[in-house]
Amino acid sequence: MRLETVLSGIPLTRSALSKEYWQNDNSEHNLLKYMGGMGPYVQGHGYGLEYDENAFDVEQVFIFARHGERYPTTSLNNDLRKTFDKLKGAQVDNYVGPMSFVKDWTYFVEDDSLLEQETNTSCFSGLQDMYNFGAEIRRKYGNLIDDEATVPLFASGSKRVCDSATAFGKGFGKGFDNDQNQYKLIILPEKRSQGANTLTSGRSCKPYHKKQGYTQKYIAKTLVEESKRLNRESPGFNITSEDVTNLIRYCAFELNAKGSSEVCNALSMDAFIEHEYMRDTELYYTKANHPLTFTLGSVYVNATLQLLSENPAEHQNQRVWVSFSHDTDLLYFLNAIGILENQQTALPTDSVAFARFFRTSELVPMGARIVIEQLVDKTNGEKIVRILVNDAVIPLQNCQDGPLFTCRLSTLRHVFYEKLRKNGSFSKRCEVKSGRPEYLSFYWDWVDGKY
């Protein structure tokens, strides 16, 4: 598939913005906002914060991204196929109502070799998404990059992650005179033997058990009512709440693969809303707010703060750092850097917390990206940090001592390292075996290939 550049029209600076006003807002009805992190990329909800390019210079940028839109995993595909086969095999007298499409329904995964890999044939192509992302980063931060420099792109060892990084690199390099050598892919194995020198820290942490602290799951109510509605309006399928769950997930992944889905149209928005909350509570307790989450994310944040604190001249004037991994690792990072402190109360499991900050579709959709900008105040040279999550500026709840609701780099370092002191090191809490790396070093070692 040929990858073409599609640049977003998002205003980047205060000077580029004109004030607008309107009385309608349809974002609450955007289905992509309720995909539970399984569906296509969607921009996050920001707070209207602006950036004054006349007052600040961007000095360095650190990017941590999830792979692009993909096909389902093998295990999830088995669940989706089970419901598909059940509905296709049902003895139905008349195909009517929301499920009438089943009569001519075909399964969206054409070949099992596609499972777990990036999509590349729809308007929500994972590879196209990453290509566009790379082009956007080049457009936005190209002034930080020497045309003759080779920018390292760090990726965990999963094929879909490496493919995403490669597509990003192609978009990123396009437009440079030396675009063929503009980037170099650095692959970090997803193995426990990597210790702390990894982009998948959960695999290196022996004591990490996902279910710890997640004793009470959210029990679906609306999904049960949804199954009753579908059976009433499209009789003969004997649809269960488990089938509804699979249909919602089918919808998300079919959008990734094909760009449209009749399954999506058959289901109510209420069902999507409850399903996302089920996903949110599961990921909140098993990934984002697990007792070891800060420790898992501290590996990445510690390295990030070190890079932002060092002189780029020590790194061949490298000012743009880009890494790719999985949604779970982005959640670890968001916890450790303090973004998830915007979720100030634990998520209840007996009702839906509609006013919550923690929404997987907002934080870790397919193609999610965290951008850390180190800004320098032109008046006094002070370094501050601005964080964008899926293109939306998200202030830190407990560090807004910089201008425009930013955080001073010195304050962020103090807050983080005080937490690290109280929590303990990754190597200690995760019981890293003697002889395995105790720190993340590949950002410094990649030139020599000692990672």
- Residue identified by tokens 């395995």 is 436
Taking only Cα atoms into account, the Rg of the chain, rounded to an integer number of angstroms, comes to 23
Catalytic positions, written as ranges: 67, 327
How many Cβ atoms from other residues are within 10 Å of residue 62's Cβ? 24
**Are residues 354 and 97 in contact, defined by beta-carbon separation less than 8 angstroms?**
no
